[in-house]
A and B are shown apart, each in its own frame.
Chain A
């Protein structure tokens, strides 16, 4: 039968330290590292040919994932083998001409590559580390271009559920050569800039090794995690993210967290004002509906 209310969670039960509760807490606290997440994001952008692709020794460890459990009907050879056709040749093909691959990849890959350049410095650094070439600038460019090319083919192969997830990507109407090539170049530039700034700014460069400065993604994840229990901390973290990454790729996410933190901290008028400002500066944002759920006032007259 269904109880009137949910039982308290074991983790919430008061009392002395307890073996099971300790175990649950330890299980709850096991979260992936920021680098692992950035690597995952990188793989989502360019599934198999990403970090683990050619060498099979990327951060993913397993390389072209799908392998063991990718139930892709009959495509098991595809995801891994196809795009692995050396990054060099892919890059050459992509760079040589406005190929179809670049066109197809123009949609998602180029766009998200820009994000990765912004949020995944660690990932970019990691990618570069796994690549044969060691020259920073060259690698940055190569990565972006090579990323675009195999990204298209691999996406369609990597669909774990049979249907090709890249379908909508390749069908994108905006992915015509004229648009795609510049965007590929843009992402290459973005990466190059990211790499350069990583090299130039000691703090950013060091984030790959000593991590003295949290990444934007890291800060926002911490902020989001703090939203429920400690909105003040969430607020401080978003402020820090804004200070460190004023032009960060996750500006909208940061602002959304800040608004919720303000509301959570009992500063609803400020939250509402911030929500209004957000709506005004990001018309048509994917978060509009969410804001309206949070603040019914926004929909009113």
Chain B
């Protein structure tokens, strides 16, 4: 049975486990870091090629998520830089995304996500990384500092700044849409 064949290598089993457990989230993280739907699979592949190569050298006690997300963040960073060098916009325009319209995804959902990406696009990239890892991927701040290889305090101040800006941008957006519909949306500045 092929089962026994591939079971015999613990390293491959470990890789498979990491893939099964984390690939969807790495994918999502790359998307929120500004990787376009058209590029995300390629980039995710690059991340896991690195994972495959380096996983067996990872210390058993090393924080896996921090390590993994660190790779993803660096890949996204390189991607952005290369896109910039090619004089492209860092992210593709959202309206033309060819991605599969997730089953049952409502238009509202889609709009909300597009809005999120627009707001994220306005963040400083370093702040965006912390914000995405904390608010969406739900990493701990220690994990984030490890993933980004920055002091914990730096991670905190980036989070703080990102939150402030995101809240302000959301407030503006809310006020705008309230203005459009004429309905007050309460509790705003």
A and B: bona fide binding partners: yes
Interface residues of A (CB under 8 A from B): 1-3, 6-7, 9-11, 18-20, 22-33, 35-37, 39-41, 43-44, 47, 59-62, 65-71, 108, 110-112, 114-115, 117-118, 158-161, 163, 165, 168, 183, 186-187, 190, 217, 220-221, 224, 247, 249-253, 256, 284-287, 289
B170 in the interface, Cβ–Cβ < 8 Å? yes
14 new A-B pairs (CB below 8 Å) besides A69-B43, A252-B7? A1-B153, A20-B119, A35-B100, A41-B23, A61-B98, A68-B86, A69-B78, A69-B79, A69-B83, A111-B9, A160-B50, A220-B20, A253-B16, A287-B17
Residues of A within 8 A of B102 (CB): 30, 33
Chain B CB count within 10 A is highest, among A2, A117, A286, for A286
Find chain A residues with CB under 8 A from B11 CB. 286
**Please, which residues of chain A bring their CB within 8 A of the CB of B65?**
none
Q: Which residues of B contact A287 (CB under 8 A)?
A: 13, 17
Write out the residue numbers on chain A whose beta carbons fall within 8 Å of the beta carbon of B113. 23, 26-27, 30
* Distance in Å: Cβ of A65 to nearest Cβ of chain B: 3
| B124 interface residue per 8 A CB criterion | no
Least distance between B40 CB and chain A CB atoms (Å): 8
Contact A6 B141 (CB under 8 A): yes
- CB atoms of A160 and B28 under 8 A apart: no
Closest CB-CB distance, A285 to chain B, in whole Å?
7
A31 and chain B: residue at smallest CB distance: B24
Please tell me if the beta carbons of B49 and A62 are within 8 angstroms of each other in the complex. Answer: no
Which chain A residues border B86 with CB–CB below 8 Å?
Answer: 68
CA distance A69 to B41 in the complex (A): 12
